[in-house]
Structure 1
Amino acid sequence: MVTRIAKCTCGQLQITVEGEPLGVGVCHCFACQSRTGSVFAALAAFGPGYRVTGRATDYVRTGDQGAKFRFRFCPVCGTNLFHTEEGEDNRSVGVAVGAFADPDFPPPRDSVYDCRRHRWVQLPEGITVYDKDPE
């Protein structure tokens, strides 16, 4: 089984996940743009069984459809490393793809909030595009 470790910039906070991602996607919503300081967020979802080491600062944001997401940041360097959805029974985790520092990481399969995508951003061929969040 594949073990992956994602780390914040300073290395104080890290998350270890097992197996292949349940999904990999990009989000172009304004909240993700603001949160990452980029024009989209690249996230990978993993099932339960992940391990977190280090200290994190939390921030809870309510999504467009009412779900509450708890984002974890490193209090030292400010890296937004991972998030979970409040009240979600299976406890999957969304991890920032760039924090794995792996150029061979699987590519995104889905792109959400295409209505807010910067028009100069080119998506990979074959990616499923949603105008908003499909859930």
Structure 2
Amino acid sequence: MVRLAHCSCRQLTVVTNGEPRKISVCHCRACQHRTGSAFGVAVFYEADQVTASGEYKTYMRPGDSGKNLEFRFCPACGSTVYWLPEFRPRLVAIALGCFEDSSAMEPTQSVYEETRHAWLSLSIRDSGEK
């Protein structure tokens, strides 16, 4: 299945081909800050399933593993569309909310539960994959 994701102004786009490897809800403080929300949702694809186009700026930060995450965002509207996790070099993470149609994309795991907001309740069928 081919899916389209893009920033708010549609300048930075990503096309995916096939099914994602996993869909992860992340409650870490870094994702909360990045999204301005209670959590972030990343849709992970194999790098060869992803084609990105458009201009982007990068923001690099170390992850808990000590390896970097390279976030790519639109220089015009500021939307973070996708990122490259150094600890998983063959994967590309795409922000769930950037997809044209994410209605059938159900999360398969939830991570950093220790920093999940107490008022937040989610029903996620854990795939067991880390």
Q: Same fold (TM over 0.5)?
A: yes
1:30-56 CA distances to partner (integer Å, 9 max, x unpaired)?
Answer: 000000111100110001221111100
Structure-1 separation of matches of 2:57 and 2:111 = 26
Structure-1 separation of matches of 2:27 and 2:59 = 19
Q: Identity rate of aligned residues, in percent?
A: 37
| Structure 2: unaligned runs, 5 residues or longer | none
After the TM superposition, list the runs of 4 or more consecutive aligned residues in structure 1 that deviate by more than 2 angstroms.
Answer: 86-90, 125-129
Question: Is the deviation greater in 97-106 or in 120-129?
Answer: 120-129
Shift of 1:127: 3.5
**CA separation of 1:30 and 1:111: change in aligned 2, threshold 3 A:** same
Which residue of the partner structure matches residue 12 of structure 1?
11
**CA separation of 1:87 and 1:122: change in aligned 2, threshold 3 A:** closer
Which residue of the partner structure matches residue 82 of structure 1?
82
Structure-2 separation of matches of 1:85 and 1:103 = 22
TM-score by length of 1: 0.88
- Give RMSD over aligned pairs: 1.9
| Structure 1: unaligned runs, 5 residues or longer | none
TM-score by length of 2: 0.91
Q: Conserved in 2, the CA contact under 8 Å of 1:56 and 1:75?
A: yes
